[in-house]
Amino acid sequence: MGDTFVVPIFHHGGSFVRNPLGELEYVNGLVERFEEMDLDFVNFGDMVKLFEDLRYTKYKTVYWLDKNAPELETGLNELEGDAGIRDMLDYLRTNREL
């Protein structure tokens, strides 16, 4: 099937809020961009390590964003464990931009 590469970009330290139009936005946060990763060789522990590199020892929820979604709210997908990594990989392979 070919390799599927992603660039993890963590938005952290901010909040999800609704703007005056009622759309969900993420505000007042920091953005960290990491090196490209081959999802065939990534597990959830690798994501946790990236959090730890940012000095986080706890987190509530991890999301990945479908950048083809019409809005932030519908594009956020919860990432739970290695099964979530596989689901994201399957989705990205199926919906890859050509």
> Could you give the C-alpha distances from 63 to 1, 20, 73, 94, 98, in angstroms and in order?
25, 24, 11, 19, 24
At 90 the three-state DSSP class reads helix
* Type of residue at 80: E
Note the pLDDT of residue 33.
93
pLDDT score at 82: 93
Tell me: the pLDDT tens digits for 67-82? 889 999 999 999 999 9
Report pTM: 0.77
